Structure 1
């Protein structure tokens, strides 16, 4: 048997907050309640917060995530998982009503050794509202994202933590063992049976079933810790935090704890002493970090505009606009802003000098600048020196406004050869969806073509110098958003590290 009757020995923390409905309990009875350490993103000095928010006639989605560093794995994981949830929400929208999905983050602990973040989601549909929460932890030493199970020493410790929660409910909330909810109740009942009928209980199944062959999981291994989290799916410990008293604060739904009264959440306290032999080394570091001030090195120059999405896991699309900037580019930027969309603009150097304010705004709003030559000459007809001079001149024009060269090049007409590839120091980006907007000048046809032919990983070609094209963009954005797509820049779609100077790319479709 993995556990002893610890649940009978766990002391109940004195109430840190009284959440009683008048008349439900005697006035002198204080329910055991923990104060969780949860730091809002806005309260962490130096924190850059990434946000997305889109409201349409079909529904509203929004989320916030912490930007911890360039390509930081925890930022990427949180941002990507939120985007995945958004896609599932959009793909499952009802025919009627305007449901809302909002996801948020709070910091549970932050130090040079470990960072913990709580991810929440609130779903509103009519009069119904549901809430869910989970925690993710970044093990700095091993450069790994790990689940809550990594905070515990082993499987036996996880079971004992459930027993500690059961003891709080039994002794502090007068809940009979038979009425304890979920996995907490399963563990408590199994232990009760083990104490009364040890031989029969020993043959019973445990929620923690190891690797299926009787071998206990090694929770210091991220993959095995993830396996343990799957085995313990539905555990309230998936939404645990450290308490201000140095123990655990375990959240449960008020409906699972009738004696809690009319409250928004129940935070059950597990005393620090009860956790001393339950936590792993990472767990001890996490507790120490939670009780101190957030102390994780943040770069003040970080920007939330540079996406951190893993487009291998998502429905991503890169909308690209050639031949500008122009008179309608500002109007286009307003449309993109309505969907928090990021796009890539392949600009002509001669027009960059003519519309510097538009280029400055485009860059400031998180869009990507691409090089489309100086004045749309066919690069394939130039010498190597001529190509280098043309591209370099356009790079310089963009750099003078944005402070950096364009990451990629799109040759006019898609025309290139070995000379062009040899002459440039940037990747060459073509497309897989050509809306032919320059030819048709038909708003409906442009929108229909983009919506019909775009797939995950597509690079879609438009020209923002045509008013009819800009007029088509709202329908394209609405349609692709409703299908669960995420609008990203070219380098976010491919991954900047995957692009090589002089190489040619058309799309990032998988398979």
Structure 2
């Protein structure tokens, strides 16, 4: 009997592997991924919104030398965002007080030689889960061309034979007739650690949503004869050890994220004596974070950066620079999901993964948590308490995600500023970073000192898990 797909075509369930001793169950459909921090010229791009109508967080990588890929990824993400925003144009009350949410995550399926593969996972929630959609977009640096997953196999005949092989692998939880020899069916073709081809499907596309992720792993003797010339190169790039990307223009277009000589960190401030205020930036690091650090250094201002683990993993050098220049790094979770909709185990793992990334980069794990969208509940509070982390929100919202005018953002921050305030900004937005010089100058002229959140709260007894707004 053929094995079910992810649920998952586990090792030992079919073919030659059925004869192997079973010491452990291994999901052979698990996708091999590349550490984004090892890829030169990679920057995480983020789009986010938050209000009472919807919550949106979407990311994708921008890689120097692969500009057509960056453009294609932006279009793929926009294809998820546009219908979601159309469906949430009006405020609606969902069961349990939930707010509609769209979350788009990315990972690297390959990044070696002149080949890049980027896997996008999109999760849409409108009262009930719309399931995960999966898409892997490939880039051929030799041709400077973006290629969909179906081009990994050779033409129509290769696609037809791949369809037959996948149908044979999928079990009764799926509807094999839905697996058609159509490029639109095969939106995500990747590889696992062993070099097997992994064909995965979006939820509801070939099975009911309750079946979970559906994927099939094909050994090389099955898929090898089906590969196109590009598919063979993509396979080699995916399994390269160690992976080393060498796009022709990457060296010329990559800029360092930190200056060669860092300015000294400004001295700590006693906020019982000074007029203190805290700038906080979330969702980064991103393309504008290095420029922001230059601005803060020039005005001898400290800030707190609540980083998203997926973005931090892409540029650990920026984290090191933030720490070296006296700024505080807080935890904004790994995937920027609305934690109030997640079980405790997922909340815990989303927080701890970011802790691990920050600790690996800087030697110190965050002590402060900012839940995405400021959304929490008793479960989030209990997990934060168990990890010894207070939840840091804000009492000045610049609404910088909504406005693209730096002057408007600065005016809003300055007009609402008070001693002890915590100001919300996003370092993944150009207009937000452009507003910072105005904010710093105007408030410093009023006698404010810009400090980290921990400096602002020094001397206060803050219980782990509790919520702090100012």
Which TM bucket (shorter chain)? 0.3 to 0.5
TM-score for the superposition, normalised by structure 1: 0.44
TM-score (norm 2): 0.47
